[in-house]
Structure 1
């Protein structure tokens, strides 16, 4: 990345990590990125799909799992290991200036796998059910956005990490949705 883009990314990171800091976000954002909070929602989605849509629901679940697998493998397995961008909480240039609200963790920063995975799931699920529930797109995208925003707020990702992760996730979700449309059982 060019130096100007990196500087903009760091300024945006500082704005979210410092300037938006408040006690409510300090409580909420670590909670939002915690799998114990969002896994029950995904379990509910699986049960709902199976119960309500039977065979078509099982098909949706398989493609939802495929969506997650492609998004996660692409972001965490392929891209991160090639780009090798340090997380903000590991960046020597930011030492002493960053507010780390959770343990930093290992691995690289670009792109955010949380953003990729949640936007992929949100996109796929929203497109599948949009004709039945028009509002689902906004709810699902807001959910993915807040989980992604939390990554920056707590200090483990830069804004461009989550932006690219979100765009990649949307692409994956859309491509798997096209597969769903092509192969779908009666739904």
Structure 2
């Protein structure tokens, strides 16, 4: 079964390499792929959001989601499964950036990107939803870039995306429960006042 999945992964990567790679697209895609290195872009974004009171909850949730995703992906699954990179298994896959030092499954870039982006999107208020939407678009581009440059199998990226979504969703649910039990802020005060007046 594992060999069958790997063969499908390989065929998809070869299709991307032969039909979807373009000289004008390679430079920007490599740059986008590097944005996800070690989750540093997402960490920096969340730290910036922490500075402002209006976006502080988003920043906290993003960092927590990144932590959960990293524990599942980089600490546990990568070392347990120890899947080698596609270019190490198949010499005809052309690598477009530096060789990676860790294992292939699942994709840490895809996981961290979707963990942070989903957390930011789900915890953002309607007026600040643009940050979440732009984060999701960037997460999709980073995940796709890992296939384009040849450092991950499609199943690596798919699993990374799913873990990232799960991490963001978990943090969102925790924050919702905490908010329900300990409502704070102007909005909650106004709701209480309206209830008393009614």
Asked if 2 retains the 8 angstrom alpha-carbon contact of 1:80 and 1:110, the reply is yes
Match of residue 99, structure 1, among 94, 112, 117: 94
Q: For residue 50 of structure 1, what is the aligned residue in structure 2?
A: 51
Q: For residue 19 of structure 1, what is the aligned residue in structure 2?
A: 19
1:43 deviation in Å? 3.2
Normalised by the length of structure 2, the TM-score is: 0.80
1:134 deviation in Å? 4.9
Question: CA separation of 1:140/1:69 partners in 2, compared to 1, >3 Å: closer, same or farther?
Answer: same
Asked if 1 retains the 8 angstrom alpha-carbon contact of 2:86 and 2:153, the reply is yes
Match of residue 86, structure 1, among 61, 64, 84: 84
**Distance of 1:163 and 1:6 partners within structure 2:** 13
Gaps of 5+ in 2: 188-198
Q: Deviations over 1:116-143 (max 9, x none)?
A: 0000101110001153345555432221
Normalised by the length of structure 1, the TM-score is: 0.85
1:44 deviation in Å? 4.7
1:50 deviation in Å? 2.5
Q: For residue 33 of structure 1, what is the aligned residue in structure 2?
A: 33
Asked if 1 retains the 8 angstrom alpha-carbon contact of 2:14 and 2:93, the reply is yes
More helix by share: 2
User: Aligned-pair RMSD on alpha carbons?
Assistant: 2.4
Asked if 1 retains the 8 angstrom alpha-carbon contact of 2:94 and 2:150, the reply is yes
Task: Pick which of 136-145 and 2-11 moved more.
Answer: 136-145
**Distance of 1:41 and 1:161 partners within structure 2:** 20
1:48 deviation in Å? 3.9
**Distance of 2:9 and 2:36 partners within structure 1:** 29
1:36 deviation in Å? 8.5
Q: Work out whether 1:181 is the aligned partner of 2:182.
A: no
Match of residue 121, structure 1, among 109, 116, 119: 116
Q: Work out whether 1:10 is the aligned partner of 2:5.
A: no
Asked if 2 retains the 8 angstrom alpha-carbon contact of 1:104 and 1:155, the reply is no
Q: For residue 70 of structure 1, what is the aligned residue in structure 2?
A: 68
1:40 deviation in Å? 5.7
**Distance of 1:129 and 1:169 partners within structure 2:** 17
Structure with higher Rg: it is: 2
Q: Deviations over 1:98-130 (max 9, x none)?
A: 111111121110100000000010111000115
Q: Which has the higher contact order (CA 8 A, sep 6+)?
A: 1
